[in-house]
Amino acid sequence: MNLFVLNQEEISALVGARHNNPHHILGMHECLEDLYVNAYIPGASSISVVDVVTKKEYVMEQMYEEGFYTVKLIDTKPFAYKLRVANKVWGDHGSEKETVKEMYDPYAFPYSVNLSKVMDVISGNDDIEDGFQVKDLFGARYTEMEGISGVSFCMNMPGAVRVSVVGDFNHWDGRVNPMRKIDYTDMYELFIPEKLHEMRYKFEALYADGRIDIFSDPYAVAYEMVPGNASLLTELSYQWTDMAYMEARKKINISDVPVNIYEVHLPTWKQEKAAYKEFGKKLASYMKDMGYNYVSLLPLMEYSNEDTWGYDTTGIFAPSSRFGTPDDFMAMVDCLHGNGIGVIMDMVPVMDIDCLTYWIDTYHLDGIRLDNPEVIHHFNEVTAGAYNDVMIGCKWNVAGVAALTEFMSMSPQSRDSFKAAVSETPGYACGADGIVALSHDEVACGKGSFIEKMSGGYEDKYADLRVLYGLYMTMPGHKLMFMGQEIGLFGGFTGKTPIDWSMLEFDANKYIQKYVKDLNKLYMTEPLLYSYESEQKKVVFSDDVKSKMAVFERGTDEAGNSLYVVCNFGLKDIKDYRLKVKKDGKYRELISSDNLKYGGSGNHNKTAKSAVKGELVMNVPALSISIIKRDK
């Protein structure tokens, strides 16, 4: 038997929100031949203990402090009970009335956390390689205790002398739900035996110096709509329909398939307010039409500041509440998967491997963009190949893109050897080197869009942009293009201004969009532009500085048919250019940036050409790029 005594100082500490072990005094306590049941509910006008089996009711007495109630039950054994709490409220016409609520007592339950996981933290075995999952212990988790549904809260709070759960369910009063400090740890836990669905909550901590801190749950799966920052109690209940897609993904070697990524900042892709579900449908339709097979989303973990584009992450386990619920986010991914589109998330701010695996498992992500080599290495090391079907890291070939862009931003008269300018950059020098990324980084922070980077007048800018995009698509490596660049958007990325889709009313922008669409189609269907064997080869150039010409080969297929890229960086058409080829036969132009349908002059090669004695005679229009391949 235990010895139990009501202690005035302990009650005062409880009422004053200074108690770090409320279970020591609250709840049911067996003492010799008696039972004590104690409750502290500020504002209650009366409280009774109700036996859940016999329905017998025991009226509690308010003692010592307002809101502290107790009852002594003589010669009684412990039993399951509820608290019947009455409160007086003002009615509609100014009259006072009483409301009554029955509830299970949070302080009648044992520890709601797995103590072996607590020991893992104490002993330092709390890394993912040890099998430890942070969300199995910390934060808020829906669970059952003794057959009762509720929420388990747990936080590690070094330096705190009292921690409470506060929220909509207790009027944000830190006195109502103080948490129990787990012996020999800095962890606090509490089980609240209610569903609390869609209710906001935070944690309140008191420190020895009297300072009080109220903070959101860093492990929350959802948050209230900004500018609020409270955590939101939410159960993930979405029913996935992408089973066939996920199974097929396991069989794909990502190194040997085309990866054509459309990078998107969700809030500014369209003029109207973004929402996960609607966005997924509209984006899937547009991407399928344009020939992209992956979307890369700028960070969508919860964040606070619109100016940071999502990179100031405040809740790494939760999709941003701006655009819907976690289930809505799942529906968006499911919709994209249903249309054959993979989903990559930019998670550069995240260093926690546990968080990365959580997003892959929970939200079915197909890739994660990281730029910290140590995090990428650590992820691959500790997951030991468990996520081989997921793109991890998504390294951007920044140097290669910079070299291409710098060369094309020169005036045609200033362009010297293309080979000298780019042949030693990653990608060209040693084959595929990550993702050739015409990314948001290249058009943000006052850099201007790609069309703005090009030299010359309006027509020359678009001609050069078509050449740049052709070079981008024929450079070894996976492909990524930031939204708006496919329509020749003027104005760099600010994260505030939506894409001006009305620009497609102008022919020049429609032509660029059509050109990008056809480049995408060519890339997706031409193995010599994406196959592993072709991608790994060093690109061999030949160029003529005087005529502003450059030529390179992108490989030869099993039938001996080679693919050549022919560029004219100057202002003069070159007729009867003699292209050196490996095999004689019929060659056709798969695409030319000078085609009239792309806004060009139409001086390209409209019919197949015959190569004789290793030479193919062809036209090479000014400011153009052509992709040539021998017919089978």
pLDDT digits (tens, 9 = 90+) for 78-98: 999 999 999 988 767 667 788
* Per-residue pLDDT at 1 exceeds 60: no
pLDDT attached to residue 306:
87
Residue 150 burial (C-beta neighbours within 10 Å; 0-12, 13-18, 19+)? buried
DSSP string, 337-376: HHTT-EEEEE-TT---HHHHHHHHHHH--SEEE---HHHH
pLDDT attached to residue 33:
77
C-alpha to C-alpha distances, 116 to 132, 135, 556, 578, nearest whole angstrom: 10, 14, 59, 75
What does the pLDDT average to over 420-428?
A: 90
- Residues 324-370: tens digit of each pLDDT: 999 999 999 999 999 999 999 999 999 999 999 999 999 999 999 99
pLDDT attached to residue 492:
92
Q: Which two structure tokens, joined as six digits, stand for 396?
A: 């951007």
pLDDT attached to residue 205:
98
Q: Of 82-96, 121-135, 231-245, which has the strongest mean pLDDT?
A: 231-245
Q: Is 385 left (phi over 0), alpha (psi -120 to 50) or beta?
A: left
DSSP string, 260-322: EEEEE-GGGSSSSPP-HHHHHHHHHHHHHHHT--EEEEPP-EEES-GGGTT-SEEEEEEE-GG
Q: Does domain 257-393 have CATH number 3.40.630.10?
A: no
Name the pLDDT band for 4 (thresholds 50, 70, 90).
low
* Per-residue pLDDT at 608 exceeds 70: yes
State the maximum Cα–Cα separation within the chain, in Å, rounded to a whole number.
Answer: 110
The total of other beta-carbon atoms located within 10 Å of residue 136's CB is: 15
Q: What percent of the chain has pLDDT over 70?
A: 98
Q: What percent of the chain has pLDDT over 90?
A: 84
Name the pLDDT band for 408 (thresholds 50, 70, 90).
very high
* Per-residue pLDDT at 626 exceeds 90: yes
Contact predicate 226/238, CB 8 Å: no
What does the pLDDT average to over 26-40?
A: 91
Name the pLDDT band for 3 (thresholds 50, 70, 90).
low
CATH of the structural domain 398-533, one choice from 3.40.50.300, 3.20.20.80, 2.30.30.90, 2.40.480.10: 3.20.20.80
pLDDT attached to residue 400:
94
pLDDT attached to residue 90:
75
Which CATH architecture group holds 8-105? Sandwich (2.60)
Domain 115-232 is in which class? mainly beta
- Determine the Cα–Cα distance for residues 372 and 361; give it in Å rounded to an integer: 21
Higher pLDDT, 199 or 272: 199
Three-state secondary-structure class, residue 398: helix
pLDDT attached to residue 129:
80
Domain 537-630 is in which class? mainly beta
In this structure, of 194-203, 553-562, 586-595, the range with the lowest mean pLDDT score is: 553-562
This prediction's pTM: 0.94
Give Cα 228 distance to the centre of its chain: 20
pLDDT attached to residue 589:
96
No. of helices (H) and no. of strands (E), the chain:
13, 33
Amino acid found at 89: V
Interior angle at CA 146, CA 79 and CA 1, nearest 5: 45
Fold match flag (115-232 vs 537-630):
yes
pLDDT attached to residue 432:
75
* Per-residue pLDDT at 2 exceeds 70: no
Across the chain, what does the average pLDDT equal? 94
Name the pLDDT band for 128 (thresholds 50, 70, 90).
confident
What does the pLDDT average to over 107-134?
A: 91
Per the DSSP assignment, residues forming a β-bridge with 566 are 551, 626
Amino acid found at 587: Y
What does the pLDDT average to over 554-566?
A: 90
What does the pLDDT average to over 146-159?
A: 97
The structural domains of the chain, with segments of one domain joined by +, span 8-105, 115-232, 257-393, 398-533, 537-630
pLDDT attached to residue 272:
85
